[in-house]
């Protein structure tokens, strides 16, 4: 095993927990702390990627392009990554992100739909960016399908392809099998992105590493969608104990989590009732807060909504189905009552 490259996504995946309300000051403080602790890549974008600011996902308080610019101006060593989900963001926003200082493009599709990302990888490469592909909701397909899709991304110009456990639904041996399949199929690097809905984020990162992962994601305090991600400071401590520290300052990351991020966090994501439901039902982690809000408004238990979304096989980005399911449940209940 070799030390992985760690990308911190507090300022992207954490955007969900912050309901997309990061301020310039918060971005400056988090980037400065991560940069000082030796994190090489910091992802800064709306939680649903460039142009994610919407009714569907929640509006950004400050445009993520402005936050990218702020992050790029703050970082001394770290490079700034942006997320782009084709179907939501377009090449237009990617160009703009590069103008504002982003040098790494992370391009995400549902794990069966890699072929919608060709034009975006093409542009990212043309713009001289490092490119990372994300196969989202990876628990929905077996390793051989993930490997086929990863090969498409490689052919479009991905420098690395991630197994992305967007639902936090994978068990360690499933994470390992998926990573191994990509490792065997690809010439480029392989990564793993965890969610902690079943309390397995760190365990899955280690399983992925053992299976050959070159890159891992973390967020301070695990601040991300659902029960959050693998906590960057925990990941650093674990990697260091394993003799695989890629050059991270473990104490500085603990301090960044405790003294910089924690005081700004609206709440601590954890595998609570609704978040475990997401991992258990295999729903998209970002559904959590939307299901809670709509559930509360319409008097429906969020768990019922999340389980039904899993049953309907809702995929990444289908937040509109939360309202649809909730209204269906309201109608069913009224029919039973009458």
Partner 1 sequence: MGADGRVKVAILGSGNIGTDLMYKILKNPGPMELVLVAGIDPQSEGLARARSLGLRTSVDGVQAVLEDPDIRIVFDATSAKAHVRHAKVLREAGKVAVDLTPAAVGPYVVPPVNLGEHLGVPNVNLITCGGQATIPLVHAVHRVAPVRYAEIVSTVASRSAGPGTRQNIDEFTSTTARGLEAIGGAALGKAIIILNPAEPPIIMRNTIYCVPEDDDADPDRIRESVERMVADVQRYVPGYRLKNGPHFDRRDTPWGERTVVAMLLEIEGAGDYLPPYAGNLDIMTSAARRVGELIAEHMLTGAVA
- Least distance between partner 1 and beta carbon 316 (Å): 8
Instruction: For the chain, give the longest Cα–Cα distance.
Output: 65
Applying CB under 8 A, which of residues 56, 240, 252, 301 lies at the interface with partner 1? 56
Cα-only R_g, the chain:
19
159/157 Cα distance (integer angstroms): 6
Smallest gap from residue 86 Cβ to partner 1 (A): 5
Name the residue nearer to partner 1 (CB basis): 155 or 184: 155
Q: Which of 310, 168, 300 is nearest to 226 (CA)?
A: 168
Contacts of 90 (CB under 8 A, 6+ apart): 50, 51
Rounded distance between C-alpha atoms, residue 156 and residue 287, angstroms: 30
Q: So which residues are the catalytic ones?
A: 16
**x/- track of binding to partner 1 for residues 266-305 (CB under 8 A):** -------------------------------x--------
- How far is it, in rounded angstroms, from Cα 129 to Cα 184? 25
**One residue of 36, 96, 113, 210 binding partner 1 per CB under 8 A:** 113
Question: Does position 318 bind partner 1 by CB under 8 A?
Answer: yes
Q: What is the x/- site pattern for partner 1, positions 130-149, by CB under 8 A?
A: ----------x---------
- Specify the residue, 104 or 123, whose C-beta has the smaller distance to partner 1: 123
Dihedral of CA 114/223/228/41: which sign? Answer: positive
Binding partner 1 (rule: CB under 8 A), the pick from 2, 92, 241, 273 is 92
Residue pair 42/12 in contact by the 8 Å Cβ criterion:
no
Q: Which is nearer to partner 1, 25 or 320 (CB)?
A: 320
| Under rule CB under 8 A, residue 334 binds partner 1 | no
Where do runs of H (alpha helix) occur along 41-90? 64-74
DSSP state letters, 16-33: HHTTT---HHHHHHHHHH
Among 2, 25, 73, 115, binds partner 1 (CB under 8 A): 115
| Residue ranges binding partner 1 (CB under 8 A) | 51, 54-56, 58-59, 86-88, 90-92, 110, 112-113, 115-116, 118-120, 140, 297, 312-318, 320-321, 323-324, 327-328
């Amino acid at each position: 095993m070799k030390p992985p490259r760690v990308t911190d996504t507090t300022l992207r995946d954490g955007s969900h927990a912050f309901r997309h309300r990061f301020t310039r000051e918060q971005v400056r403080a988090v980037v400065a702390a991560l940069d000082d602790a030796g994190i090489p890549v910091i992802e800064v974008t709306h939680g649903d990627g460039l142009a994610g600011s919407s009714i569907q996902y929640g509006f950004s308080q400050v445009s993520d392009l402005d936050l990218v610019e702020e992050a790029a101006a703050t970082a001394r060593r770290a490079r700034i990554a942006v997320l782009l989900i084709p179907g939501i963001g377009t090449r237009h926003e990617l160009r703009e992100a590069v103008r504002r200082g982003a040098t790494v493009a992370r391009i995400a599709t549902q794990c069966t739909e890699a072929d919608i990302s060709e034009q975006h990888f093409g542009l990212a490469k043309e713009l001289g960016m490092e490119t990372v592909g994300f196969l989202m909701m990876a628990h929905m397909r077996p390793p051989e399908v993930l490997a086929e899709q990863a090969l498409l991304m490689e052919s479009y110009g991905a420098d690395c392809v991630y197994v992305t456990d967007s639902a936090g639904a994978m068990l360690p041996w499933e994470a390992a099998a998926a990573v191994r399949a990509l490792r065997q199929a690809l010439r480029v690097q392989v990564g793993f992105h965890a969610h902690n809905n079943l309390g397995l984020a760190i365990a899955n990162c280690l399983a992925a590493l053992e299976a050959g992962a070159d890159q891992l994601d973390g967020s301070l305090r695990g601040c991300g969608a659902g029960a959050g991600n693998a906590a960057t400071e925990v990941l650093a401590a674990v990697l260091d104990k394993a003799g695989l520290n890629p050059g991270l300052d473990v104490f500085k990351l603990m301090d960044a989590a405790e003294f910089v991020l924690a005081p700004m966090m609206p709440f601590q994501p954890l595998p609570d009732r609704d978040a475990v439901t997401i991992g258990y039902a295999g729903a998209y982690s970002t559904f959590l807060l939307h299901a809670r809000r709509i559930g509360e408004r319409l008097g429906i238990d969020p768990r019922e909504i999340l389980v039904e979304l899993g049953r309907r096989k809702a995929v990444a980005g289908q937040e509109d189905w939360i309202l649809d399911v909730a209204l269906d449940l309201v109608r069913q209940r009224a029919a039973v009552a009458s």
